[in-house]
Amino acid sequence: MSLALSHNAQWVLFSTLILGMAAGVMGCFAYWKRQSLMSDALSHAALPGVIVGFMIAGTKSLPLMIAGAAVSALLGAFLIQWIRSSCRVKEDAAMGMILSVFFGLGIMLLTFVNRMGGGSQSGLDSFIFGQAASMVRKDVITMSVLALLVVLISIIAFKEWKLFLFDPQFAKGLGLSGRWMNSIYMTVLVLVIVIGIQAVGVILMAALLIIPAVSSRYWTNSFLWMVVLSGVFGGVAGMAGTLISTFGKGWPTGPFIVIAASGIFLVSLAFGARKGMLVLYLQRYAQKKSLTESLPGQRVLERGEA
């Protein structure tokens, strides 16, 4: 496949670039809220909504399927909070329960749809592992616009979200409602998940949210630059994974995007300017060398005093 001659492939690359940026930005907020598993649970919870949206439309209508995925994911988020507040079940256990139940329901509905007339040709299987190459121009435009909306909301509400994350009591004193801030955060998180499941897949969408955020943590201690770097890493991973997947017939996009993101993480782990293994090794070596050089002088001084 020649990307230089394929106009649709260029659109797909642009859409996964924007999607990766949006996922990387929102992944930072999920990372600092200690809700990495939440993104995984919501991405799996979106699958039944995708199938129901397809069944209602009778055809592959991306806007209706995104709406169904959003409703299903928000329902999953509500059930997680309800289980946590009404039972003695911890949040991670509640997430695991909702993840398993909703994903199992989605697979059951997918099996049912594939047995219907023309269901096997619907392309719904691509929502499991992602297949960006199967998107048409209308899908690409819809996904790109929504991903840009996520980035725009993140930029506009950055100061409020930062305050909400690191000093919720001070934010409350300024009149910011924690419930509203959390609702907006959850809605935007669900939005970036549902627009990315066709390209990355429900199983691997969480990786695109979390890996760029963790990778950026190795390069800076500034939250602002962490968000920026996470967006850059996510965009590069999305575009690189999509580019690789277009070289083979039927290659799923999601795994290659995750592999690209993992490569960025390994580089960050080894060479990160703040917490990279090489930097830590050099710092420890310099400290050890400085300590070793100071010991003989200290001994001479002690002997002179004696």
Sign for the pseudo-dihedral over CA of 16, 191, 161, 94: negative
Say whether 186 sits in a helix, a strand or coil: helix
Task: Give the rounded distance of the alpha carbon of 20 from its chain centre.
Answer: 8
pLDDT in tens, 280-306: 888 888 888 887 776 555 555 455 555
Parse the chain into domains and list their residue ranges: 7-206
CATH superfamily of 7-206: ABC transporter involved in vitamin B12 uptake, BtuC (1.10.3470.10)
Task: Name residues of the chain where pLDDT drops below 70.
Answer: 1-6, 117-123, 294-306
Residue 3 pLDDT: 43
> In 10 A of CB 100, how many CB atoms?
12
Residue 122 pLDDT: 56
Residue 253 pLDDT: 82
Question: Based on C-alpha coordinates, what's the Rg of the chain?
Answer: 23
Residue 117 pLDDT: 58
Distance CA 257, CA 108 (A): 27
Task: Give the rounded distance of the alpha carbon of 122 from its chain centre.
Answer: 26
Residue 6 pLDDT: 67
